[in-house]
A and B are shown apart, each in its own frame.
Chain A
Amino acid sequence: MTLASTHTVLPNGPRLIGRISDFLWKHPHVLLAVLLGPPVLWLGVIYLGSLFALLLQSFFSIDDFSGLINYEFTLATYRQLLSDANFDIIVRTVLMAATVTLFSALIAFPIAYYAARYAKGKWKAVFYLGVMLPLWSSYLVKIYAWKLILAKEGILTWAFTKLNLLWLLDGWLSLPIIGGNSLSVSYTGTFLVFVYVWMPFMILPIQAALERVPANLIEASSDLGGNPGQTFRHVLFPLALPGIVAGSIFTFSLTLGDYIIPQIVGSSRLFIGQAVYAQQGTAGNIPLAAAFTVVPIVIMGLYLWMAKRMGAFDAL
């Protein structure tokens, strides 16, 4: 019996290693410290440290004449942040993020529902990859693709011309605010690219939530006389809501902080991300840039707190 087991049991390692191992086994707290130490140091010192240093700077101000940072505690920068022009930027960005989130949910829901309930076997894989590939493929290439699509000589104008609907496109572009000279310099264009780039992040959490809805619950609802609309409103939607909220964390947060999409496709009116970029770069006003970054942090903090209360984290 001992003969048989000598081959299945590995020889013990060198003694020192064995003793380290024994020590860690007897002192689980030390093991925990060894495991957690490096990642917590990295994230805690490098990441949180820089984040904290940045936030601290928002309580400094910039001297209007010399352009140097005045290292004294003040709320002047925050007063500047809430001035009309800057407040407009915040409102514009939040409205855009909310609209993008709403439309992302509308487009994502049928995909997620189909994938969760009807796609079987091979189709399940097709749907999964069909969502994952666009989600993970290059952010800039996706924006570039939309530059090709929205260009005046691009495919969209071509399609509208072929369908004899060019008047519709022109009519849309002549609308105030959402229109513009062409789609690639209008809010509509910015909105389309935002939805395209961030919508895939909405699909998987909704799908995860819907997959936990037992099929017989839907059948029970229709057995009890609920029509499809009622079943959706009273059974499916409430159960999918945590998933939608989880997905909206991504679409909302990502839209809130993006500065590349509105820079490449959009009008010249700024979003929060662009304002941060401009303040820290050309304007050299780090305190105001820092104050601007506080806005998404506070909004996302509130949002995450709300999402947690709705149980959205279980759907991630």
Chain B
Amino acid sequence: MRSDRSSSAPLGLKIAAIGGLAFLHIPILLIFLYAFTTEEKSYQFPPPGLTLQWFAVTWNRPDVWAALALSVKVATIATAIALVLGTLCAAAVSQTRFFGRETISLLVILPIALPGIITGIALRSAFSMADIPFSFWTIVLGHATFCIVVVYNNAVARFRRVSGSLIEASMDLGADGFQTFRHVILPNIGTALLAGGMLAFALSFDEVIVTTFTGGQQSTLPIWMLEELIRPRQRPVTNVVAMVVMLVTFLPILAAYYLTRDGDQIAGAGK
């Protein structure tokens, strides 16, 4: 009966855990610091001075804006496709039993289980074999393929918790399949889909490996960033863009967290 004894962790474990988290976060904090540095030619630490001027310079850069717009467009369409396909797949896998269910789960996970370079080069050689020119749509095609799994994972987890008796009750009350979907299933899985969609958006917004293979002349924001990493030309602008990208990806992650946090309290799950 002395189980409360274990409520405080050994000191060594505490240090290792907090040290591990610090290892994960200090580099990110540095990105925020460097966005304000006055140093232009090197990555000098500590920064010789702090300034806000690079925000204005970045704001007036058309190439940054063009890359950002393309990234947002690609991510939006890829997310929409992934939402439809991922939800359909999750519904089939969780609501029915059929031969080869395991294979379907594997098929969905494969695009992110295999290294991105394989997906990228496979799509690239398929496009060139089929004489499809690289365009906006080839980028979207690649992104949607690996975004499906994120939506699928979120939806499957939620579908499992939607009680079957709710659906039967709806049917017993005379609703047809579409009405049941609209008024019973959708409200229950809605937040999971929103969360999955946001994560898919974040994944696509940040993708670079597949994009280098499926993109033509267009450059998404990560491609722009990659070029700056390989051949740094304007370090201060890169610093600011890096910070903005960091902030932009934080928002959907936080939102997705708050949306799925209370996932246990779905109607009908109490039983």
Given contacts A44-B107, A114-B14, A158-B45, contact A57 B145 (CB under 8 A): no
Chain A, 118-176, CB within 8 A of any chain B CB = 118, 125, 127-134, 136-149, 151, 153-155, 158
A155 touching B45, Cβ below 8 Å:
yes
| B53 interface hit (Cβ, 8 Å) | no
Chain B, 46-68, CB within 8 A of any chain A CB = 46
B92 touching A36, Cβ below 8 Å:
yes
B249 touching A138, Cβ below 8 Å:
yes
Which B residues are in CB contact (< 8 Å) with A297? 114, 118
Taking the closest CB of chain A, its distance from the CB of B244, in whole angstroms, is 10
Given contacts A107-B20, A118-B9, contact A38 B225 (CB under 8 A): no
B27 touching A147, Cβ below 8 Å:
no
| A225 interface hit (Cβ, 8 Å) | no
A215 touching B14, Cβ below 8 Å:
no
Partner of A46, one of B24, B113, B145, B222: B145
Partner of A151, one of B10, B42, B98, B116: B42
A149 touching B27, Cβ below 8 Å:
yes
Query: How far apart sit A304 and B25, CA to CA, in the bound complex (Å)?
Result: 31
B229 touching A219, Cβ below 8 Å:
no
B178 touching A38, Cβ below 8 Å:
no
Query: How far apart sit A18 and B178, CA to CA, in the bound complex (Å)?
Result: 8
| B202 interface hit (Cβ, 8 Å) | yes
Taking the closest CB of chain B, its distance from the CB of A32, in whole angstroms, is 5
Chain A, 12-64, CB within 8 A of any chain B CB = 12-13, 17-18, 20-22, 24-25, 28, 31-32, 35-36, 38-40, 42-44, 46-51, 53-54, 57
Query: How far apart sit A196 and B30, CA to CA, in the bound complex (Å)?
Result: 14
B88 touching A39, Cβ below 8 Å:
yes
Which A residues are in CB contact (< 8 Å) with B225? 138, 140-141, 144
Which A residues are in CB contact (< 8 Å) with B238? 144
| B266 interface hit (Cβ, 8 Å) | no
Taking the closest CB of chain A, its distance from the CB of B59, in whole angstroms, is 19
Partner of A300, one of B16, B114, B125, B175: B114
Given contacts A47-B119, A280-B124, A297-B114, contact A147 B229 (CB under 8 A): yes
| A286 interface hit (Cβ, 8 Å) | yes
Which A residues are in CB contact (< 8 Å) with B141? 46
Chain A, 177-211, CB within 8 A of any chain B CB = 196, 199-200
Closest to B21 in A: A130
Which A residues are in CB contact (< 8 Å) with B166? none
Taking the closest CB of chain A, its distance from the CB of B223, in whole angstroms, is 9
A145 touching B89, Cβ below 8 Å:
no
Query: How far apart sit A129 and B176, CA to CA, in the bound complex (Å)?
Result: 41
| B254 interface hit (Cβ, 8 Å) | yes
Taking the closest CB of chain B, its distance from the CB of A126, in whole angstroms, is 9
Query: How far apart sit A125 and B254, CA to CA, in the bound complex (Å)?
Result: 11
Chain A, 278-316, CB within 8 A of any chain B CB = 280, 286, 289-290, 293, 296-297, 300, 304
Taking the closest CB of chain A, its distance from the CB of B50, in whole angstroms, is 15
Closest to B125 in A: A54
**Binary per-residue interface labels of chain A (254-285) against chain B in the complex, 1 for a CB within 8 Å, 0 otherwise:** 10111110011000000001001100100000
Chain B, 170-188, CB within 8 A of any chain A CB = 171, 173-179, 183
Which B residues are in CB contact (< 8 Å) with A155? 30, 45-46
A132 touching B85, Cβ below 8 Å:
no
Closest to A151 in B: B43
Taking the closest CB of chain B, its distance from the CB of A247, in whole angstroms, is 13
**Binary per-residue interface labels of chain B (13-48) against chain A in the complex, 1 for a CB within 8 Å, 0 otherwise:** 110110011011101101100100000001111100
| A96 interface hit (Cβ, 8 Å) | no
A36 touching B27, Cβ below 8 Å:
no
| A85 interface hit (Cβ, 8 Å) | no
Query: How far apart sit A28 and B42, CA to CA, in the bound complex (Å)?
Result: 64
**Binary per-residue interface labels of chain B (251-268) against chain A in the complex, 1 for a CB within 8 Å, 0 otherwise:** 001100100010000000
Partner of B86, one of A39, A158, A254: A39
B126 touching A50, Cβ below 8 Å:
yes
Closest to B9 in A: A118
Which B residues are in CB contact (< 8 Å) with A102? none
| B122 interface hit (Cβ, 8 Å) | yes
| B108 interface hit (Cβ, 8 Å) | yes
B176 touching A134, Cβ below 8 Å:
no
Which A residues are in CB contact (< 8 Å) with B13? 110, 113-114, 118
List residues of chain B with CB under 8 Å of any chain A CB.
Answer: 3, 6-10, 13-14, 16-17, 20-21, 23-25, 27-28, 30-31, 34, 42-46, 84-86, 88-89, 91-92, 96, 98, 104, 107-108, 110-111, 113-119, 121-126, 129, 141, 144-145, 148, 171, 173-179, 183, 199, 202-203, 206, 208-209, 222, 225-226, 229-230, 238, 242, 245-246, 249-250, 253-254, 257, 261
Known: A140-B226, A257-B117. 18 other contacts (CB 8 A): A13-B178, A40-B107, A43-B107, A47-B122, A50-B125, A51-B118, A117-B9, A118-B7, A136-B199, A140-B222, A140-B229, A199-B24, A256-B115, A257-B114, A264-B229, A276-B117, A277-B117, A300-B114
Give the 3 A-B residue pairs with the shortest CB-CB distance, closest first: A257-B115, A50-B126, A110-B16
